[in-house]
Amino acid sequence: MSLFNELKRRNVFRVGLFYIVSAWVVVQVAETVLPMFDVPEGALRAIVLILALGFVPAVVFAWVFEMTPDGLKLDRNAQADPASGQHTSRKLNWATLIAAVLAIGLLIADRLMPEPPVARAEPALANVDSPEVRMSAEADDAVDPASIAVLPFEDLSPDGDQGYFSDGIAEEILNVLVRIDGLEVASRTSAFRFRDRDDIGIPGIARELEVRHVLEGSVRKAGDAIRVTAQLIDGESDKHLWSDTYDRSLTAENVFAIQDEIATAIVEALRGSIALPGAEALEVGARTDSLDAYELYLEARALYNARNRMDRADELLARAVELDPEFAAAWAIRAAIYVLDDEYGDLGLARDVSVARFEEYAAAALANDPDNALAIAVLAMGRLTEARFGRARHGISQIIDDLERAVALDPKNASARNWLGVAYGEVGELDAALAQFQACNEDDPYYAPCAENVYDSLTSLGRMDEALAAYLRALDAGATTDEWLSPSLLAHFDLKAHFMFATNQSLYVPGWRRHGELWAAWKNLEGDHEALAREVRAYADEHLDLADNTSHLVNLLVPLGGSFDLNPFSIVIWGDAYGKYRQSPEFRTRVQDLDIHTYWREHGFPPQCRPIGTTSVTTGSEEDFECD
């Protein structure tokens, strides 16, 4: 008898098949039942391993033993009875069939059964805005053919020390293109990330930036001559649509002329395939007759954009306006540096000196260019900051009007949009604030202040799932400033580790020994935590500089019922966690210093506040307000 026939006679094949099907049933049941009892995942792996190892003994057992009417016997001792063998075979066939039907039934039930709900934090952290989801969404969106990115121009100067100049040329061209109706231009922050990214090529950069066209170029400045080379590339086909080289003597007039000519040539090249307006009026905005002043301005602007060495940027701009006192763009950035000194602190000046200077420099910019958007926005934001901290009184209505004008003049100015959103937040108009932050974030996804303010606004509006998604997007893009924390968001999603890691950082309470107690307080803000808030404040007064506006501790302490004098950020004060602050004398003073009450009477009160009393012309009494 052949081996194959002997295996059939001893039912080895049937036993093997029955074992496999039965093992499948066992695994299916275990996979369903074990999680109900919180059994570790290793248990299921152990079951699969044991079943796999048991296959060989099972078939060996089938070879050695035979089932007979008298019971289980060694095959060599069993009498060869064909009827008995057929009976055993039929039993195995039925057992295998039943096991297979059971296994298939379990599989179908598992596929049809709805997934059980999962805790909120886990899907949000695992799935919200994952790269796979983003890639799928992006694949569905066709790239707008009327879109372009301007990459930083390569510095080909002999000493390789003119990077700020070549970057400045590229940025000026970008700023001209931004003003073209119907042309979408990737932000400077987004495009300049791809400096020296030859590894992915122009098509890869275009895909990353979601643009159809890419402008790249180089600048060579040597002695009294300048050469600028530029080329426009189709990001889809990697074909050159236009290129040119400009050799000129190095004068301010020629530098501006080259930038204007490149921008005009690009628009003309694109108009062959997409509808764009004529390019006759295109010209660079930052004009000066002094080449030296312009070079100083470009070097200072690079530092200002990076928020790096602001004191050095101020020195460069001081020399620039000395060379050309009518250089409005230089005056405007100089004013912005002094407004931001409260945040970055590079200048080391008393606040009253900084205030006097930003007002003087903004006025100088506007005297030479009444429509300078940055100067208008800087003046408005500076006054908002002064009133917010009780150092002056300025009406919020005028501040908002000025910021709205600045955004209308320069819709792509990220700082102006962000500051307008902050001003809307000051009066509790969170939907209007969110719209500004989102527009800013869409134009410049890597501008951290707007990215953070998006999720702070959503948190204050109670749209927590959207807030968490925005928070994860900001982290993924690296769009974060310092160690900014949204305690309300983290507490809502039980992200204790995130919270405690952040509160250990330098701008919160490094060295504090009871971070778990802080977390517990934030999880139960209805409780009385004033004693804890006083302890943390005393510790912070000793170890931190709370007079420095960069300290984020204020937004950690205020909801616990203390430190109302530190003036929390405008967007967050309208969240549920800040009810105690809105009922405090400090909040009332803030409303008075910014004349917010008048704004509310004209535009309506936020949901958290309402008018009380009536305005009387005869008695001179005014309508009051209260907030929850």
**Which tens digit of pLDDT belongs to each residue from 185-226?**
888 888 888 887 777 888 888 988 888 899 988 888 878 888
**Residue that is written with structure tokens 């890597």 in the block:** 446
283, HSE (Cβ side, Cα atoms, 13 Å): 10
Choose among 185, 15, 189: nearest CA to 99. Answer: 15
pLDDT computed for residue 604 by the predictor:
92
CB atoms within 10 A of CB 389: 17
Q: Which of 128-137, 255-264, 343-352, 598-607 has the highest mean pLDDT?
A: 598-607
CB 557 within 8 A of CB 595: no
| The pLDDT of residue 69 is above 60 | no
Low-confidence winner among 69-73, 268-272, 299-303, 369-373 (lowest mean pLDDT): 69-73
User: Where does residue 423 rank: exposed (0-12), middle (13-18), buried (19+ CB within 10 A)?
Assistant: buried
pLDDT at 3: 65
Q: Which residues contact 63 (CB under 8 A, 6 or more apart)?
A: 7, 10, 12, 75
Token output for 239: 């074909």
Report pLDDT digits (tens) over 573-595: 999 999 999 999 999 999 999 99
β-strands 624-627, 609-612 pairing: antiparallel
- In 3D space, the residue among 50, 57, 4 whose CA is nearest the CA of residue 30 turns out to be 50
With 60 as the cut, is the pLDDT of residue 49 above it?
yes
Using alpha carbons, list the distances in angstroms from residue 119 to 116, 177, 522: 10, 47, 20
Question: What is the distance of C-alpha 597 from the center of its chain?
Answer: 33
Strand partners, 155: 219
Mean pLDDT check: name the lowest of 32-41, 77-86, 133-142, 514-523.
133-142
Instruction: Tell which wins on pLDDT, 38 or 554.
Output: 554
Average pLDDT of the chain to the nearest whole number: 81
Q: How far apart are CA 54 and CA 50, in angstroms?
A: 6
Q: Note the pLDDT of residue 345.
A: 62
Contacts of 10 (CB under 8 A, 6+ apart): 62, 63, 66, 75
Continuous segment of H or E residues that includes residue 600: helix 596-603
- Segment 603-618 shows an average pLDDT of 78
pLDDT at 433: 96
CA distances from 445 to 116, 205, 477 (A): 35, 15, 8
> What's the pTM?
0.71
- Report the C-alpha gap between 306 and 308 in whole angstroms: 5
With residues binned 3-state (H G I as helix, E B as strand, rest as coil), the percentages for the chain, rounded to 5, are 60, 10, 30
Query: Which residue did the predictor score with more confidence, 511 or 196?
Result: 511
The predicted-structure confidence for 339-368, as pLDDT tens digits, reads as follows: 888 776 667 788 888 889 989 999 999 999
Residues paired with residue 226 on neighbouring β-strands, in sequence order: 221, 248
Above 50 in pLDDT, residue 131?
A: no
Q: Give pLDDT, residue 110.
A: 59
What pLDDT score was predicted for residue 305? Answer: 80
pLDDT band at 621 (very low <50, low <70, confident <90, very high): very low
> Does 3.20.20.70 match the CATH number of domain 143-270?
no
Which residue, chain included where needed, has tokens 């307000």?
625
How does pLDDT run across 524-551, given as a tens digit for each residue? 998 999 999 999 888 888 877 655 544 5
What's the CA angle centered on 35, arms 32 and 36, to 5 degrees?
A: 90
How big is the CA angle at 45 (ends 41 and 46), to the nearest 5 degrees? 110
- In DSSP terms, which residues pair with 228 in a beta bridge? 219, 246
- Between 71 and 206, whose confidence is greater? 206
Neighbours of 169 (CB within 10 A): 27
Categorize the per-residue pLDDT at 135 as very low, low, confident or very high, splitting at 50, 70 and 90. Answer: very low
User: In sequence order, which residues have a C-beta less than 8 Å from that of residue 462 and are 6 or more positions away?
Assistant: 575, 576
CA dist., res. 440 & res. 449, Å (int): 9
Instruction: Please enumerate in sequence order all residues whose Cβ is within 8 A of that of 75, keeping only pairs 6 or more positions apart, or say none.
Output: 10, 63, 64, 65, 66
3-state secondary structure of 476: helix
Is the torsion defined by CA of 173, 175, 179, 181 positive or negative?
positive
pLDDT tens-place string over residues 484-510? 889 999 999 999 998 999 888 877 888
DSSP letter assigned to residue 243 = E
Taking Cα atoms as reference points, which of 165, 134, 616, 585 lies closest to residue 390?
Answer: 585
- For the stretch 370-398, pLDDT in tens is 999 999 999 999 999 888 887 888 999 99
Taking the alpha carbons at both ends of the chain, their separation in whole angstroms is 94
Q: What pLDDT is recorded for position 134? A: 46
Q: What is the pLDDT of residues 404-461, one digit of tens each?
A: 999 999 888 889 999 999 999 999 999 999 999 999 988 888 888 899 999 999 999 9
CA-angle at 249, arms to 248 and 255, nearest 5°: 70
Lookup: tokens for 439: 């527009």
Give me the pLDDT at residue 286, please.
59
Residues 6+ apart with CB under 8 A from 441: 447, 450, 451, 454
Judged against a pLDDT cut of 80, whether residue 19 lies above it is answered with no
135 vs 112: CA distance, rounded Å? 28
**Residues making up the chain, counted from first to last:** 628
pLDDT over 70, % of the chain: 80
Domain spans, the chain: 3-112, 143-270, 486-594, 595-627
Q: Which pLDDT belongs to residue 79? A: 53
Burial of 616 (0-12, 13-18, 19+ CB in 10 A): exposed
Is 75's pLDDT higher than 60? no
pLDDT above 90 coverage of the chain, percent: 30
Q: Is the Cβ–Cβ distance between 437 and 427 less than 8 Å?
A: no
Q: Which range (83-87, 141-145, 229-233, 370-374) has the least confidence?
A: 83-87
CB within 8 A of 573, min separation 6: which ones? 460, 581, 582, 587
